[in-house]
Chains A and B, each alone.
Chain A
Amino acid sequence: LAKTTQPISMDSYEGQEVNITCSHNNIATNDYITWYQQFPSQGPRFIIQGYKTKVTNEVASLFIPADRKSSTLSLPRVSLSDTAVYYCLVGDLTGANNLFFGTGTRLTVIP
């Protein structure tokens, strides 16, 4: 069961790039890394998923070093609406070990 560690909270000014790092030292060969965003009183929303190197979509980028023991979610030019809790999970495509949420990172965007 790959455990994840993230900073509890981060603050950023509007318009800045935000990088949130997640440590997963025990990640298994078949594990993927998935990030979710959660607003208060809502269910989590999928942001991005990757296995290695770099993945980019319309909202974020995910950087994964060669050893895959960590990953960094990058949010370009954040706005106030990006204030939320961000969770990283690790698990394989067919197993159940990606269902356990860590503490998450509470991002606060400041005007």
Chain B
Amino acid sequence: GAVVSQHPSRVICKSGTSVKIECRSLDFQATTMFWYRQFPKQSLMLMATSNEGSKATYEQGVEKDKFLINHASLTLSTLTVTSAHPEDSSFYICSARLGGYNEQFFGPGTRLTVL
């Protein structure tokens, strides 16, 4: 199956700093990538949809200026959490979809802890 990687797998940062998370499709080109956030014991919540070469589409309630998404190539999307605060601590998961197919391929996730 298609493989999606994320880097870093775990990051701890101080409040007020910015953190960048990378999502890569390793063996296929992903026209669309998705970013999710998952708090402990809760389900995944879609944050935004990222299309290569265009601006991301954010879900209601997600601040686009706080969560910057860049999808510069067909194999890489990045999520930058700007001016992170403790309430941003969460598990961030990306997924990628082959064009026209329903199945999503998920990355392993990134655990962000903001002190």
Binding site for B on A (CB under 8 A): 32, 34, 36, 41-46, 49, 87, 91-94, 96, 98-104
Report B-chain residues with C-beta under 8 Å of the C-beta of A94.
100, 102
B50 in contact (CB, < 8 A): no
Q: How many interface contacts (CB-CB < 8 Å) are there between A and B? A: 54
Q: Which residue of B lies closest to A45 (CB)?
A: B106
Chain B residues within 8 Å of A, Cβ to Cβ: 1, 4, 6, 34, 36, 43-46, 49, 91, 93, 95, 100-109, 111
The SS class assigned to the A binding surface is loop
Residues of B within 8 A of A91 (CB): 102
| Most chain B CB atoms below 10 A, which of A32, A43, A94, A102 | A43
CB of A88, distance to nearest CB on chain B (Å): 12
Contacts of B95 in A (CB 8 A): 43-44
